[in-house]
């Protein structure tokens, strides 16, 4: 039984089977799901839409800090330095979660089934 979609997003799992890992390292994705075999990049430029999720995530992460710094009245230089440092600190997480969020949103809008498991070929018959 597939796991809950929210849990699959939090664990950065495949949008189709919700079991396979999407990232092999911090910034490198698997091209295909290691469990169900679905190809993650549906078409060229597929992950450009993940930018919208990255903007939203960046806003959610940076806005509280920016508001706090503004209300504390810190100088413009310190404001820029702290926000830049926070951006660099959270960039890998935003990168990963924006891609996974986009893939899950796309799966909800345009579902695709798991790749069929390749059936074994029948033995070739010799020509008669």
Residues that bind Zn ion (CB under 5 A): 14, 16-17, 20, 33, 35-36
Rounded to a whole number of angstroms, the minimum distance from the CB of residue 48 to Zn ion is 22
Which of 28, 72 has the CB closer to Zn ion? 28
Rounded to a whole number of angstroms, the minimum distance from the CB of residue 122 to Zn ion is 28
Rounded to 5 degrees, φ, ψ at 111 are -65, 145
CA atoms lying within 13 Å on the CB side of residue 57: 20
Burial environment of residue 109 by CB neighbours within 10 A (0 to 12, 13 to 18, 19 or more): exposed
Which of 15, 50 has the CB closer to Zn ion? 15
Measured between alpha carbons, how far is residue 20 from residues 37, 62, 80, 93, 113 in Å?
Answer: 9, 30, 39, 19, 14
Which of 74, 105 has the CB closer to Zn ion? 105
Rounded to a whole number of angstroms, the minimum distance from the CB of residue 47 to Zn ion is 17
């Amino acid at each position: 039984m597939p796991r809950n979609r929210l849990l699959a997003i939090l664990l950065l799992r495949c949008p189709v089977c919700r079991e396979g890992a999407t990232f092999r390292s911090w910034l490198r994705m698997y091209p295909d799901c290691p469990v169900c075999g679905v190809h993650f990049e549906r078409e060229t430029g597929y992950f450009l839409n993940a930018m919208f999720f990255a903007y939203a995530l960046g806003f959610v992460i940076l806005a509280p800090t920016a508001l706090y710094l503004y209300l504390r009245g810190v100088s413009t230089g310190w404001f820029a330095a702290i926000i830049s440092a926070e951006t660099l600190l959270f960039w890998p997480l935003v990168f990963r979660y924006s891609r996974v969020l986009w893939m899950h949103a796309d799966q909800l809008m345009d579902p695709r089934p798991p790749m069929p498991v390749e059936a074994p070929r029948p033995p070739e018959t010799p020509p008669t």
